[in-house]
A = this chain, B = another copy of it.
Amino acid sequence: MVKSLSRNDLIPIGEMARRTGLSVSAIRFYEDRGLIEPVRTSGNQRRFLRSDLRRVSFIRIAQQLGLSLGEIDSAMRDLPHGRTPNARDWRVISASIRDRIESRIAELERMRDRLDGCIGCGCLSLKKCAIFNPEDRLASEGPGPRQILID
């Protein structure tokens, strides 16, 4: 039995916005970036499938969890058939997201501990403080964003 596509299953962009909490322009932007591919009416207006609601929610969540749109795109493209993530996919993806969160937490904790050490050490002598004395240890990676502190 093939499900017929009821009119109600074709969602215009404004309703998508309302239902996902995103702005219309953001949704268009995601289409530009290849994250969603709505169909078009004869008059060229976007119409989204129900599954796009889930897809867009997924984007929103993954983003909130710290992934860039590019990373989200790859995550979704890695799925078989480029389908909308289902429960099993979600478990796989979220496990990897979890790892990222954990590392970020660990990184911040290291930073906090370093900072604590620095507060306590009567720092700023500029001779012994690792956090406050970058001379002669960096400036060797060329231009662009750099890593700054030494672990």
Given the complex of chains A and B, what is the CA–CA distance between A108 and B139 in angstroms? 32
How many copies the complex holds: the figure is 2
Q: Given A112-B105, A124-B86, decide whether A119 and B91 contact each other with a Cβ distance below 8 A.
A: yes
Q: Is B94 a contact partner of A118 (Cβ separation < 8 A)? A: yes
Asked if A23 CB lies within 8 Å of chain B CBs, one says yes
* B contact residues around A95 at 8 Å (CB): 119
Q: Is the interface of A mostly helix, strand, loop or mixed?
A: helix
CB distance from A133 to the nearest CB of B (A): 7
Contact partner, A18, options B25, B109, B133, B139, Cβ 8 Å: B139
CB distance from A60 to the nearest CB of B (A): 6
Q: Is B101 a contact partner of A139 (Cβ separation < 8 A)? A: no
Q: How large is the interface on A (under 10, 10 to 19, 20 to 34, 35 or more residues)?
A: 35 or more
Q: State the A residues within 8 Å of B (CB).
A: 17-23, 25, 53-54, 57-58, 60-61, 63-65, 85-87, 90-91, 94-95, 97-98, 101-102, 104-105, 108-109, 111-112, 115-116, 118-119, 122-124, 126, 131-139, 143, 146, 148-149
